[in-house]
Amino acid sequence: MAADTEIFFEHSHLGKPLAWSTGLHLGFWGFVLLLGLVLHGNRGAGWGAGGGGDAIGVALVSSVPLPANPTQTQNVLANESKGLTLSRPELQQVEPEAIPIPGKNAKVKPKPVTSASKQKTQPQPEPETNEVPFGGGGPVSGPYGTFNAAGAKGGFGFTGGGGDFGSRYAWYVRVVQQKVSENWLKYEVDPRIQNANRVYVTFDINRAGQPTNVRVEQSSGVPSLDQSALRALQRIDTFGPLPSDYSGGKVSVEFWFDYKRGG
Partner 1 sequence: MTDRNLVYNLYRITIKTLADPFQADTTLPRPKLQGWAGALVCCLAGLALALFGTRAQAQDWIRTGTGLGVEKIKLAVPDFKPSTQDAKNAELLKTFDDTLFNDLDNAGIFDMVSKSFYPLEVPGNPSEVRFDAWSNPPVNASMLAFGDLGVSGGNVTVHGWLFDLKNTQSPQVLGKQYNDTATTDNARIIAHRFADEIIFRLGGGINGIAESKIYFVSDRSGHKEIWVMDYDGANQHQLTHIGSISLSPRISPDGSRLAFSSVTKTNWDIRMFSTELNRMVSFPAYPGTNLSPSWSPDGTKLALSSSRAGDPNIYVCDASGAGLHRLTTGKGPDVSPTWNRKTGAQIAFVSGRTGLPQIYTMEADGTNLQRITDQGYAVSPSWSPNGQFLTFAWFRKYGPGAPGANDIYLMDIASKQWVQLTHDGGRNDFPSWSPDGRHIVFQSSRTGSEQIWTMLADGTKVQQLTFSGRNSQPNWSWK
Touching partner 1, residues 241-260 (CB under 8 A): 241, 243, 254, 258
Of 5-13, 111-119, 121-129, 139-147, which segment contacts partner 1 by CB under 8 A?
Answer: 139-147
The answer to whether the CB of 229 falls within 8 A of the CB of 185 is no
What is the C-alpha to C-alpha distance for residues 25 and 116, in angstroms, rounded to an integer? 75
Q: Looking at 133, 161, 207, 224, which residue binds partner 1 (CB under 8 A)?
A: 161
CA distance 250 to 253: 10
Report, in Å, the least distance between residue 97 CB and partner 1: 37
164 binds partner 1 (CB under 8 A): yes
140 interacts with partner 1 by CB under 8 A? yes
Per the CB < 8 A criterion, the answer to whether 182 and 148 are in contact is: no
Contact status, residue 67 vs residue 85, Cβ threshold 8 Å: no
Please report whether residue 170 would count as binding partner 1 according to CB under 8 A: yes
Exposed, middle or buried, 242 (CB in 10 Å: 0-12/13-18/19+)? buried
d(CA 48, CA 64): 21
In the list 73, 144, 214, 222, the residue contacting partner 1 (rule: CB under 8 A) is 144
Give the one residue of 83, 147, 228, 229 binding partner 1; rule: CB under 8 A.
147
Question: Of 2 and 45, which has the nearer Cβ to partner 1?
Answer: 45
**Residue 139 CB, nearest approach to partner 1 (Å):** 4
Interface size with partner 1, residues (CB under 8 A) = 72
Q: What is the smallest separation between the CB atom of 76 and partner 1, expressed in angstroms?
A: 5
How many Cβ atoms sit within 10 Å of the Cβ of residue 154? 20
Sign of the Cα torsion 63, 147, 175, 229 reads negative
Out of 160, 199, 229, 259, name the contact with partner 1 by CB under 8 A.
Answer: 160
